[in-house]
């Protein structure tokens, strides 16, 4: 039976056809819900970041206006008018520091507001960070910054990292500037609820990181993979260097040219959907468990009994008639199995009866074949007696009478089911002696048998018909010597041992046409034409359960050869009537 015809497979497929669409729908529904939630929350983060950048840009623009107010402020324009040693200079510096301090307090995203004179190398600084460090950094950059007072934000690198600076030229002796560190600019974003693993970064247009962050620059740079047609300023990425998926959200600052970015773990985005998240992973396993339980139930109540019934029928078909099915089950299968067992009992009884009848028929046929061959020998023997009487060779005739007495004494007792190979060969020797009396100068025979095979059992008159045919059909030229060799030996090892009996002569041999006829012969049809050969083959077939072989061929040196091959196995030592065996007597 083909595997795709299995009832078990059809039941599973039927259940799958019902369950799989439901599972697919639930999975799609969960994925759709997660996608909608992700898009909504991503859009919210995007809007919040855009608003933050806009408000920050507005504040930074106001710092530019704050600086340009210093251009017309008399405190700044007259700072060095009375020299750097006058009381007026120190009072003016106090008023300037007060204005710078008020500015740094108002513009909370700025790191430092400073006034610097390239001529006098004088620096006035108000800072929300470490004052000494800011003083050192700005002093190192001040001369270079004085050359770029174009009123636009520019990116500079300080010993402490990157910073954004805007410079306003107050006079030929004085400049004003505001310094903003990217980390200061994005510090409020770190207070947002980004979840565990969330991160903030500031970058320039070439994706250079300007702030401290735990995520590498090339991961932030993956935002460039965003499809231009995709809505929103966010992108969900999955990188093997990250422990989970991250949502990247960006906003570009028009005032500074910086790009502010958020990295938000997907678990933070979907923390409002724990049920749907778990359902995506649990549902397939739940379905598998249901399928498994369903299959176990079907296996017990339907598939198992049905499979047992099919196996029982297959074993019955193979001839194992002792097969019985358990009948402890309840329901319809209990009745079916009981009927099956009853039918198996009936088939077994019927087969035993048929087999016994077949044995009786075979035994009758076997006895008939043994009786059938005797007239064949009688006729040939009487022809020899007649020829000797015609020749008036009375001495030879007397020897012939003795040999014929021994010969016919054997045939009288040949109704036994089997004899020993030694007895059969003695009978053949008797026959050949009779023939040699007729042709004393030209007929020679030689019989050689292995000691182990002498007691082996074969049907009576198995070898003699072939020896007789060799003399009758092979000894055509009576003036030439004719030799007949009979050899019996064991070949092979272990379970493959065989008894090989060879009847070979030096006569004319078989014609090619006759060998072709023999190879394709149906002996049940042509038995009337070759009764001797058919008789031996049929008796050997019955005696060995169709395991014997009879091979007719021409010998290498000329003449005909008949090979009788009988399986020995271990029956040679067992005795009884199985195949070739030791005879237990007449």
How do residues 268-324 score in pLDDT, each as one tens digit?
877 766 565 566 667 767 777 877 787 777 777 777 777 777 788 888 777 777 777
Sign of CA dihedral 42, 43, 47, 53: positive
Contacts of 78 (CB under 8 A, 6+ apart): 92
Contacts of 348 (CB under 8 A, 6+ apart): 321, 322
CA pair distance 332, 203, nearest whole angstrom: 78
CB 129 within 8 A of CB 181: yes
Please state the pTM of the whole predicted model.
0.47
What is the CATH class of 73-180? alpha beta
| CATH 3.30.450-classified regions of the chain | 73-180
* pLDDT tens for each residue of 131-189: 888 888 888 887 777 776 667 888 888 888 888 898 888 887 888 889 898 988 888 88
pLDDT at position 280 = 64
Q: Say what percent of the chain tops pLDDT 70.
A: 83
| CATH 3.30.565.10-classified regions of the chain | 355-582
CA pair distance 110, 119, nearest whole angstrom: 26
The answer to whether domain 355-582 has CATH 3.40.50.1820 is no
Residue 181 DSSP code: -
Q: How confident is the model at residue 584 (pLDDT cuts 50, 70, 90)?
A: very low
pLDDT at position 271 = 73
Q: How confident is the model at residue 54 (pLDDT cuts 50, 70, 90)?
A: very high
- Alpha-carbon 368 to chain mean position: 61
């Amino acid at each position: 039976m083909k595997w795709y015809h299995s009832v078990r497979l059809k039941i599973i497929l039927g259940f799958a056809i019902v369950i799989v669409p439901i599972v697919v729908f639930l999975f799609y529904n969960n994925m759709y819900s997660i996608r909608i939630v992700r898009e909504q929350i991503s859009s919210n983060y995007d809007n919040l970041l855009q608003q933050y950048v806009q408000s920050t840009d507005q504040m930074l623009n106001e710092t530019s206006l704050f600086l340009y107010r210093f251009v017309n402020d008399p405190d700044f324009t007259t700072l060095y008018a009375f020299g750097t040693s006058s009381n007026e200079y120190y009072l003016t510096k106090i008023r300037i520091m007060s204005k710078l301090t008020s500015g740094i307090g108002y513009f909370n995203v700025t790191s430092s507001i400073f006034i610097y004179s390239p001529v006098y190398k004088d620096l006035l600084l108000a800072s929300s960070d470490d004052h000494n460090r800011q003083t050192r950094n700005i002093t190192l950059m001040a001369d270079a910054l004085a050359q770029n007072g174009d009123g636009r934000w520019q990116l500079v690198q300080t010993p402490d990292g990157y910073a954004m600076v805007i410079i306003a030229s107050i006079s030929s002796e004085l400049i004003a500037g505001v310094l903003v560190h990217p980390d200061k600019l994005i510090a409020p974003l770190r207070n947002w609820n980004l979840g565990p693993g969330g991160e903030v970064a500031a970058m320039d247009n070439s994706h250079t990181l300007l702030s401290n962050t735990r995520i590498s620059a090339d991961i932030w740079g993956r935002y460039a993979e965003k499809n231009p047609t995709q809505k929103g300023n966010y992108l969900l990425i999955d990188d093997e260097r990250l422990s989970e998926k991250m949502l990247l959200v960006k906003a570009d600052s028009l005032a500074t040219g910086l790009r502010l970015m958020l990295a938000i773990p997907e678990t933070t985005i979907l923390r409002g959907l724990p049920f749907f998240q778990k359902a995506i992973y649990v549902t397939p396993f739940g379905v598998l468990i249901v399928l498994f339980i369903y299959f176990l139930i079907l296996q017990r109540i339907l598939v198992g009994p049905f499979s047992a019934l099919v196996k029982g029928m297959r074993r019955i078909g193979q001839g194992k008639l002792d097969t019985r099915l358990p009948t402890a089950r309840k329901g319809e299968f209990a009745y079916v199995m009981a009927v099956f067992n009853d039918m198996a009992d009936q088939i077994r009884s019927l087969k035993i009866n048929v087999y016994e009848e077949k044995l009786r028929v075979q035994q009758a046929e076997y006895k008939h074949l043994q009786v059938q061959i005797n007239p064949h020998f009688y006729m040939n023997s009487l022809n020899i007696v007649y020829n000797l009487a015609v020749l008036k060779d009375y001495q030879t005739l007397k020897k012939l009478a003795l040999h014929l007495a021994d010969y016919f004494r054997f045939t009288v007792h040949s109704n036994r089911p089997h004899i020993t190979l030694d007895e059969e060969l003695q009978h053949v020797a008797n026959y050949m002696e009779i023939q040699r009396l007729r042709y004393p100068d030209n007929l020679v025979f030689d019989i050689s048998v292995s000691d182990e095979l002498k007691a082996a059992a074969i049907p009576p008159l198995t070898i003699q018909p072939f020896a007789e045919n060799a003399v009758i059909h092979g000894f055509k030229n009576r003036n030439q010597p004719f030799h007949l060799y009979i050899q019996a030996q064991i070949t092979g090892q272990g379970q493959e041992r065989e008894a090989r009996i060879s009847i070979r002569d030096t006569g004319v041999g078989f014609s090619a046409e006759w060998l072709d006829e023999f190879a394709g012969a149906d002996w049940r049809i042509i038995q009337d034409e070759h009764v001797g050969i058919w008789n031996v083959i049929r008796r050997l077939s019955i005696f060995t359960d169709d395991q014997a072989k009879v091979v007719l061929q021409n010998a290498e040196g000329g003449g005909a050869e008949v090979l009788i091959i009988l399986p020995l196995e271990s029956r040679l030592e067992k005795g009884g009537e199985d195949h070739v065996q030791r005879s237990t007597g007449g």
